Structures are given as C-alpha cells and as structure tokens.
Amino acid sequence: DPFWEAAAADATPIFIHPAHQELAIRRQGQPYEFGLGMLTDTALAASALVFGGVLDRHPGLRIALSHGCGSYPWVHPRLCYMATRAPAAPSAEHLDELVRRLWADCLVFDPAHLGLLVQRFGADHLLYGTDHPFLPERFAGPRAVITEAIAAGTGVDEGALGANALKFLGLHNRN
C-alpha cells in the first residue's frame, strides 16, 4: 500500500508488463511463455488490483497493463460473478467501474480483440503498444491492428494512436 499511495499522491503513471514467465510453475518454453504466460500473469496483476482493493483504496492511480491487459478482459465476467456472490460483496457495476479506471495497450495481435477492450476499459483508455525491441519483425507495424479495428467499427478511435498515451502520462494539458 505505501507504494500505491505514493504513486497516487504523485500522479505517477504505472505500466505493468510481465517478466520471467519461466519462473512460474506451468508449461514452460514456447509458445506457452509468450503466448499464454504473459497474458495470464497480466490478468493476475489486473485481478489483484480490482479484487484486492488496490483501486478502491487508491482512487488516484493511473495504471496501464500490457498486451490488452492479458486475458483479463475475457475472464472479468467470471471473476465478477463469483466475487459478487459473497455477503457484503461489491456490486458488478462497481467492479466494472474499477476496471474502467485501468488502461490497456493495444498490442493484442488481432483487431477483433480491441472491441472487447473498448467495452471493458473505454476507447479513451487504450494505448498504442509496440513491445520494442523484442521480435522486431512482428512489431514493425503495430499501428495496423489499431487502424484495422477503427475501420472495422470496433469502437476504437484515433486516440489509441497517441492522444490517449499523453493523457495517461499526464502530458495532455502541456503546451
């Protein structure tokens, strides 16, 4: 909590990206570490922020999670279903509001996935992501996923190409 308190007090943007998937006990090597491990670790981080009370206790936090927040957008309804069944549990609406405070990058490899990110986080909370300098041949044109999603009418807008990042970083009001 002291870390989150300081980040909120200073309006420090936090970017969460998984590392060292080989240290977790599960299937190791590729394609598992890159294809599933990173997405699972990111979803675990997001669920700890939402369901662990971090976002409730520190409403001023600005937190972005890599790779579309991993598998979290897909598992959020299941998590909410179980979390709202306990006595004195938060409402699903409150949990949805907490999730909409998170930010996610658009590095998801598929324009169709971005529609769900808009639904969970809002179009204004989607960020351009590259994963530079890893796998340079795959990430030579990360704008394409965003522009394809815009053209397909997924709800993604031009803000994901740069303006949203300025807002996340607290630079949108500078001259």
Q: Please give the full DSSP string across 89-157, using - where no structure is assigned.
A: PPPHHHHHHHHTT-EEE--SS-TTHHHHHHHHH-GGGEE----TTSSTTTSS-THHHHHHHHHTTSS--
pLDDT of residue 87: 85
pLDDT of residue 27: 55
pLDDT of residue 40: 81
Q: What is the pLDDT of residues 91-120, one digit of tens each?
A: 999 999 999 999 999 988 889 999 999 999
Q: Which residue has the tokens 């796998």?
A: 135
Residue numbers of the chain with a pLDDT score lower than 50: none
pLDDT of residue 80: 94
- Element holding 79 (H helix, E strand): helix 72-83
In this prediction the pTM is 0.87
Q: CB–CB of 64/168 below 8 Å?
A: yes
Q: What is the pLDDT of residues 6-15, one digit of tens each?
A: 999 999 999 9
